[in-house]
Homo-oligomer: A and B are copies of this chain.
Amino acid sequence: MPDAHRIEAAISEALARARGGATAPGQLSAALSYACLPGGARIRPTILSAVAEACGEDRPPLTDAAAAALEFIHCASLVHDDLPCFDDAATRRGKPSVHCAFSQPVAVLTGDSLIVIAFETLARAAPQDPTRAVALIEILARQTGMPGGICAGQGWESEERIDLSAYHRAKTGALFVAATQMGAVAAGQDPEPWTELGARIGEAFQVADDLRDACESEAETGKPIGQDAAHGRPNAVARLGREGAIARLNDILSGAISSIPSCPGEGALAHMVRMQAARLVPTQAGTAARV
């Protein structure tokens, strides 16, 4: 199981450097930390680190930089998604969203800066291994930008006709594929065999998020619920019903575990995926989860 302290230390160190001192603008500096600390479940960097460990991690500082970079991209996406022109969400992780706590300009710049910090963190870790660092940067960019990353996923919400498969793959799946691929690359392994695990975890996460949005209260999720219905977005619970969505979630997770490539830490990784899965399942639906 990855060491959560290592991930938090890498995030804090990069944030401290980015926040600068007295010659940096104070609000933007404060907002960078506000957007990332305290974190959520850190599920993407945890998966990344677990895959690196399972692959026989040999460059821990590179793994940590990759984990932090991935989390920065995730936090950036949350800050921008909460903006009034997207979800117009007043809360996130149980506190006011960045544009509410600071302002819209600061929120836009916080997201922009966090994207940059992600790539900077990887570039700064490059002396460990420039070739791996560049591969990590390329994967992270592909899964963040266009045409198939989370920006593309969010972009689909501005289209009249949504390609649902491309939408989910990009909006939720991309950063989980980044997690498994980057974990492999940080440990010097080929990323391709790890794509399916990331994609399946992403699908599971999407169904779990749909369940939470449809079933839980705002107090439980720390953010506004019922957003899919309010914005007319596709939701697995609307399509399959609650029981059907839970059955689908369990199927996907079983598939995820079977897709784990043969590697030194295969058993421990399967255990970690099961543990993360247990956290995914909404409280009210928890008793029905098997994986």
Contacts and interface: CB of A to CB of B under 8 A. Distances in A.
A23 B80 CA distance: 23
A51 to B, nearest CB: 20
A117 B146 contact: yes
Contact of A18 (B18, B25, B137, B147): B147
A128 to B, nearest CB: 11
Contacts of A24: 146-148, 152, 155, 166
Interface stretch (A2-10, A26-34, A252-260): A26-34
Interface stretch (A119-127, A198-206, A269-277, A280-288): A119-127
Q: Which of A32, A117, A126, A145 has the most CB of B within 10 A?
A: A145
A177 to B, nearest CB: 15
A28 B138 contact: no
A26 B159 contact: yes
A126 B134 contact: yes
Given A18-B147, A20-B146, A20-B148, A25 B113 contact: no
A105 B23 contact: no
Contacts of A106: 155, 158
A6 to B, nearest CB: 22
Contacts of A108: 80, 83, 85-86, 108
Closest 8 CB pairs of A and B: A20-B147, A116-B145, A24-B147, A28-B155, A120-B141, A25-B155, A85-B104, A123-B138
Contacts of A120: 137-138, 141-142, 145
A105 B157 contact: yes
A120 B145 CA distance: 9
A105 B20 contact: no
A218 interface: no
Contact of A29 (B130, B138, B146, B149): B146
Given A23-B148, A102-B158, A112-B151, 15 more contacts: A18-B147, A20-B148, A23-B147, A23-B163, A24-B147, A25-B155, A27-B155, A29-B147, A80-B112, A109-B158, A113-B155, A115-B116, A117-B145, A130-B134, A137-B137
